[in-house]
Structure 1
Amino acid sequence: MSKLIILTKSMLKNNIRSFDSYFWAFIFPVVLFVIFVMIFDNINYSEDLSFNSLKAGIVYEKKLTGFGKTIISQMLKHTNFKTENINTLDEALNELKNKKLDIIIYFPDDFSLNLNSSLFGIKQKEANVDIYYVEGRNNSEILKEISKIFFEYSNIEIIKNVKKIKEPEIKKIAIDSKDVFRYRDFLFPGILIMSIMSIGFFSIPYDILFSRDSGINKKMLTTPVNGFTYFLSILLSDLIIVMLSSIFLFLAGIIMHVSSEFFSVRFFLLYLFSIITIFSFGLLITAFSKNISSTMSILNILFQIFMFLGGLYFPVFNIPWAIKWIVYINPITYLVEGMRRTIGMNISPISNAWLIIVPMLWIIMSFMAFSIKYRKVMGYE
């Protein structure tokens, strides 16, 4: 055990000694995450922003009467969004939280009385209207602004010498963060997976192949340290680098206010599962490699394909089937989707079972291939 620890420390120091290794492992993932969040976080990919899709729930605490009924009914007829009458405010709030409505327009029980009294000059009282919306949900905020414009239009239509409809009181509704799409929450697992890939795809194969081609592995056979201990030290040193890189990313996530679900036990288990899957893929490629230069070239191509067709940065399930099949055999697709589902994001049509089965098949296949070719890969024969 002491030999393994000493070798691991030596490999770790060697790997992070150069600025290039430090930059790509620790700095680049954080910088990429911050830049992407700053650029794309205000873009909502999960909602259809066409006016025809917007829907307002109308709640009358008491049925409207007189001119108030005529004015409001005519106003709602000329809207360019859908409306639906809801019996109670509680029922409407529940539908708003479940995304069945985008806003609620609530007319209190004294609305008709106050408006009709003002119109006939009996007494000057403001007719109140409340608008409920969800902060952070694009459709909800857009329809809130549209509704305010319609009420301003109503005020123009009402006779000028009577009291106008009071500007609607805007009320924000607090909902679970799982119900609101935020690009930073979509992106965070993708950047985390990318940082693991940079080690699993490049560092592990390079360290093993360099040791083999330079004869280090054979020389280790003449020392008290056996070859398998040396192999484990390579994996452990790269694992530590991944962990350190992830710590930097989690700190950035805290600063950028990502979902607290990313700090749950379930997410951590999926994170470890992702490390095993990606590391095993690096070993799979190493098992069939002949030299460093050709292997690293192949891995560069595979890295780009797996990264962009794995949905790390953007959804990839609307692409043509000519390349969509790569999405479905790509283990990265399943790993990042599994992480996103811990916060309630269901981006793909893949069932939960396949999110585990497909990466597990890659792990089994990779370890079997590497085990069969272990002695040849390490240069012992």
Structure 2
Amino acid sequence: MKKIVIMIKAFLKDNLRSFETTFWSIIFPLILYFILVSVFGNIATSSSIELKLGVIQQEELKAFGKILEEILKEISSEGGPFVLKYYESIESAQKDLATGKQDVILLIPKGTSAGLSGTLLFKKYKINNVLLKIYYVDERQTSNIAAKILEQIFDEVNIEIKKRSDKDFKDLEIVSIPIARHKKATFNYKEYIFPGIVLMAILSVSLFTQNIGLAYNREKGINKRLYTAPVKPIQYFSAFITTMLIMISISIALLYVLAINVYKVETVKVLDPKFMLFTLFSAITLLSFGMMLISIFKKTSTVVVIGQIMNQIMMFLGGLYFPIFDVPWAIRWIVYLLPTTYLGELLRGCMGYRVSTIPFEYLILVPSIWLIISIAIFSFNFKKVMGYE
């Protein structure tokens, strides 16, 4: 045990003293997280060009009530500010409004056609006002804007009605009613991207720090000299893998600090025991995958090139930054072969951001198969890795 601790300290000092290793394993994931959040952080919060208007008609509009129908057609036609959707009940409309599926709701009550017709036909008589209700979410900016636009539109309608009736009579009375926003969490790119950055940090150590270190030790004959020392191979690799796990832990710990303190990612999500357990599972799987590659390719230059290629494939086709399940089947089969596809979904699932329909058991099974295959191939080529042959 003492020998393992000594080697861990030596490996850790060697890695932390190397600027390239420290930068790519620890600093670069922080920079990438900052860049992606800065560029795409408002992807789901930016205002839409078209506002969504839900309409509940409690009667079929007739006679002068058709004025409202024409207004709705006009504001939802090409170039208009609204996209129209009709609802049968106020409950379903309010539910969609609360969950963000609609920006504003307009209720046209019974008696609207009679009220408008009476005002315009019998100008000398005061008839009950037509009460239109506008429902919006006060906490949501787009909903507020949509409600204000709708109020202004009907104010213009009132001006036209006044020209044809008693000047003190206001036929269309508008009541804006704020409702509570639904408690369901909205999409947050800062949280969605966090598991991807964690996996990228693990990949950086697995495909570069680990593999370049092993390849260098093999080429320089360090592994061979250890063979003559009183250090068993199992002790050597226990120390080496533990060092890689420490490097990964340092990188992820700094990501946690940035995510929680700067980007206000919910602590309960990233500190969820399941999330942390699956992160460890991801680290072991990807470290094993990297060890498989180093056991197949002998030269350091080849290991670096293959590492770069696999890093790009596993990051982008593994969907670490964006959903990739709608790519053409010519590429999609690669997506379903990669362990990062399943590990990414596994971690995102813990945070409530699953984007695929892959069954949960497959999210565990496929990376586990990669883990077993990687360890088997590495064990078979163990002497080649150590430079004994």
Instruction: Report the TM-score, using the length of structure 2 for normalisation.
Output: 0.81
Q: Counterpart of 1:82 in 2: which secondary structure?
A: strand
Give me the CA root mean square deviation: 3.7
Would the alpha carbon gap of residues 6 and 361 (structure 1) be closer, same or farther in structure 2, given more than 3 Å must change?
same
Q: Distance in 2 between matches of 1:148 and 1:110?
A: 24
The 10-residue stretch of structure 1 (183-192 or 158-167) with the greater mean CA deviation from structure 2: 158-167
The separation in 2 between residues aligned to 1:117 and 1:4, in whole angstroms, is: 93
Report the Cα distance in structure 1 between the residues aligned to 2:28 and 2:130, rounded to whole angstroms: 58
1:271 aligned onto 2:295: no
In 2, Cα distance between equivalents of 1:366 and 1:134: 55
The CA distance in 1 between the partners of 2:53 and 2:70, in whole Å, is 16
Residue number in structure 2 paired with 1:87: 89
Q: What corresponds to 1:316 in structure 2?
A: 324
Task: State the partner residue of 1:5.
Answer: 5
Larger Rg: 2
Once structures 1 and 2 are overlaid, which stretch shifts more, 267-276 or 345-354? 345-354
Preserved contact between residue 99 and residue 181 of structure 2 (Cα < 8 Å)? no
Give the residue type in structure 2 aligned to 1:317: F
Distance 1:326 1:50, change over 3 A: farther
Question: Of 107, 125, 135, which aligns to 1:131?
Answer: 135
Amino acid at match of 2:336: Y
Q: 1:370 deviation in Å?
A: 0.7
* 1:380 aligned partner, one-letter code: Y
Q: Is the 8 A contact 1:64 1:111 kept in 2?
A: no
Greater alpha carbon shift after TM alignment, 114-123 vs 147-156: 114-123
How far apart, in 2, do the equivalents of 1:111 and 1:269 lie?
61
What amino acid sits opposite 1:83 in the alignment?
Answer: K
Q: Deviations over 1:271-309 (max 9, x none)?
A: 111111110110110111221111111111111111111
| Gap change, CA 1:173 and 1:86, over 3 Å in 2 | farther
Contact 1:59 1:87 in 2 (8 A): yes
Residue 80 of structure 2 corresponds to which residue in structure 1?
none
Q: CA deviation at 1:323?
A: 2.3
Give aligned pairs, total: 370
Alpha-carbon deviations, 1:214-247, whole Å to 9, x = none? 1212222332322221121111111101001001
Give the gaps of 5 or more residues in structure 2.
77-82
Alignment partner, residue 351 of structure 1:
359
**After superposition, what is the alpha-carbon deviation per residue over 1:143-162, rounded to whole angstroms, capped at 9, x for unaligned?**
66345323311111113444
Over 3 Å counting, the alpha-carbon distance change for 1:302 and 1:65 in structure 2 is closer
Distance 1:226 1:156 in 2: 87
Matches within 5 A, 1:134-173: 141=142, 145-158=145-158, 159-160=161-162, 161=167, 162-163=169-170, 165-166=173-174, 168-171=176-179, 173=181
Between 285-294 and 79-88, report the one with greater CA deviation: 79-88
1:242 corresponds, among 242, 248, 255, to 248
Q: What secondary structure does 2:228 align onto?
A: coil
1:377 aligns with 2:385: yes
